[in-house]
Structure 1
Amino acid sequence: MEIIKIHHPYNPKQIYDGDIVLVLGFFDGVHVGHQSVIKKGVEIAREKNLKCAVMTFNRHPAFVYRTFDPDKLNYLTPLKRKEQIMASLGVDILYEVDFTSRFGTLPPQTFVDQYMVDWHAKVVVAGFDYTYGKAGVANMDTLASFAKGRFDIVKVEKYADERDKISSTRIRRYIGEGQIRRANDLLGYVYETSGFVIHGDARGRELGYPTANIYPHPYVMVPKRGVYAVRMQVDGKWHDGMASIGYNPTFGHRPSYSIEVHLFDYNEQIYGEDVSVKWVDYLRDEIKFNSVDELVERLDQDMLDAKESLAKVKINQI
């Protein structure tokens, strides 16, 4: 997959010079609803023997305009993770547009002319709720008036399960509630975060459960506090383990939460290494134990529970 980074106003030489099917969306999480839109674009492109291109933004508009509660809006997929998933879905070209005020305030007709027609789009595909400017003026229902017959339009209808529309907001709620398996079902893959390993208190090693302390990627959602069955990638290889997110209340107050991962088959020094963690299953809440022996006894059970969960759940390596 070719990645093309765009800053408005862009240089026309950056643009692929052949005809394309263009898929539009921010696609945070690239969940099964998003995947239905992208797969439709890929399918049409293959039928027409064209390249399938996706246009997304380098950051969410809400971060630029501060139209959000910073404690409630975090990415499900930072740009690098989004790139991985897009490539796995068969996208040929990924346009990553810097979302700036100059870009975000383009009149709808200018946006369509410069970012659809001038990109040689023969078909434009987007979800039913895609907007490009003021929602009441520039949406999928009004796109034909700006397209003026220069390309075909495919609007993908709402993707829902028996409960509700599948959305990034709903997935964030599940992750925040510890319903990680339900979130994974809606994502279509196992939720993943990234970070790097830092020094911790080294208590885990004293307890017989050495852990890697993870400093997480900023602006990416961290699951609810508690204990999880996980897989962690180190040096390109995935390892089974369990993770704790919390404040280690058994050992007293600490000013900030930590993410600690114990791997079952790995005990190397990896400080400073970049790692990724797949959050497979939520095992239990964070607990303050009355003694270290009580904590170790529970950790023994956590390891058994984590291994059982990991054996049952099919890990999608997207």
Structure 2
Amino acid sequence: MEYIRIENDFPRITHSAVTLGKFDGIHRGHRKLVEKIIGQKEEGAQAVVLALGNASRTILTKEERCRLLEKLGVDILLECPLNDRIRHMKAENFIKEILVGDLQASYVAVGEDFRFGFERKGTPQMLKEYGRKYGFDVEILPKEMDGRRKISSTFIREELSRGNMEKFHALMGMDFSVEGEVEHGRGMGHKYLLPTTNLIPSGEKLMPPNGVYITVSYFKERTYQGITNIGYKPTVGGEKFLGVETYLFDCHEDLYGQYCRVDFKKFLRPEQKFTSLEALKKQLEKDAVKGQEYFRKEK
């Protein structure tokens, strides 16, 4: 898949099927839109995702989003920040100059509440009208629902901020995860507490509340169940950077330098400062027991 960040002009693409939106996280509603443009590849179109918007923290990192969209079959991801040109462009001009002119869209799929153009005056119905004028088809999809509420990035962000990993999975169709190379910590876990692996999450990734979670960690050829602390380790003097520290059940290997993905299953408790290392260790052992019980029930 080709990834292009729009700085000024859009690329010229021949015969595209386009879906537009924020695509902050690729949730269940987004996947329905992506399925629609993938279906147009049989007609010779390139499947293009046009992600509009700015966010300092995102549900998925750029790498995660690219990897997922590529797996789904997308050909091109266009990331378009809302710069002055796009923010002040009239909806009619956006359709004529970008969708028709640059992307040569033959098909466009959007959600029923999609808005675009200056003052958000562009609507799905406007796309349909101009599609008839310029010769491209438009499909408007109803929002995916969770009970009575529409699935959206805002909804997912709310649940993530509560540490509700189960609801996150239900809305996204995948677990919340953090990935990276295992780094050396200060060795406190191996010396005094429980041996752990340490990751530093991407600064662009929106994180759940600091605390202890039940997790599954994936390495190249191995998978380990465990518990993970997100936070700054206040009991042992604190850290400058937010860390993701995982105690892996039944693991006695040195995993330093290996690439790892940690999937979060359930929130156990907030991060807290204990009066001593011994008190912290006792609590971590209790957390580990809860984690092991969770996985036994899952079998």
TM-score in terms of structure 2 length: 0.85
1:27 aligned counterpart, secondary structure: coil
User: Which of 47, 50, 65 in structure 2 is aligned with 1:53?
Assistant: 47
User: Which of 272, 280, 287 in structure 1 is aligned with 2:265?
Assistant: 280
Contact kept in structure 1, 2:86 and 2:117, CA below 8 Å: no
Q: Which residue of 2 aligns with 1:90?
A: 73
Contact kept in structure 1, 2:16 and 2:106, CA below 8 Å: yes
Q: Distance in 1 between matches of 2:215 and 2:155?
A: 22
Q: Distance in 1 between matches of 2:66 and 2:222?
A: 19
Contact kept in structure 2, 1:239 and 1:266, CA below 8 Å: no
Return the offset for 1:86.
1.4
Contact kept in structure 1, 2:216 and 2:265, CA below 8 Å: yes
Q: Deviations over 1:104-136 (max 9, x none)?
A: 433323321233223232211011122222354
Q: Does 1:108 align with 2:104?
A: no
Structure 2: give runs of 5+ residues left out of the alignment: none
Structure 1 counterpart of 2:88, one-letter code: T
| % identity of equivalent residues | 27
Contact kept in structure 1, 2:193 and 2:277, CA below 8 Å: no
Q: Distance in 2 between matches of 1:127 and 1:203?
A: 50
Q: Distance in 2 between matches of 1:163 and 1:309?
A: 29
Q: CA RMSD in A?
A: 2.8
Structure 2 counterpart of 1:84, one-letter code: R
Q: Which residue of 2 aligns with 1:188?
A: 173
Distance 1:133 1:313, change over 3 A: farther
Contact kept in structure 2, 1:281 and 1:309, CA below 8 Å: no
Structure 2 counterpart of 1:51, one-letter code: A
Distance 1:311 1:85, change over 3 A: farther
Q: Which residue of 2 aligns with 1:177?
A: 162
Return the offset for 1:253.
5.6
Structure 1 counterpart of 2:153, one-letter code: S
Distance 1:11 1:245, change over 3 A: closer
Aligned residue-pair number: 295
Q: Deviations over 1:78-108 (max 9, x none)?
A: 22111122123233x1232342433443332
Q: Which residue of 1 aligns with 2:117?
A: 133
Contact kept in structure 2, 1:7 and 1:97, CA below 8 Å: no
Q: Distance in 2 between matches of 1:149 and 1:120?
A: 10
Contact kept in structure 1, 2:18 and 2:50, CA below 8 Å: no
Distance 1:275 1:133, change over 3 A: farther
Structure 1 counterpart of 2:280, one-letter code: L
User: Which of 218, 223, 228 in structure 2 is aligned with 1:243?
Assistant: 228
Q: Distance in 2 between matches of 1:122 and 1:157?
A: 21
Distance 1:167 1:145, change over 3 A: same
Q: Deviations over 1:163-188 (max 9, x none)?
A: 41111111111111111111111111
Structure-to-structure mapping, 1:193-272, within 5 angstroms: 193-235=178-220, 237-252=222-237, 257-264=242-249, 265=251, 267-271=253-257
Contact kept in structure 1, 2:89 and 2:118, CA below 8 Å: no
Contact kept in structure 2, 1:23 and 1:52, CA below 8 Å: no
Q: Which residue of 2 aligns with 1:9?
A: 9
Q: Distance in 1 between matches of 2:88 and 2:295?
A: 47
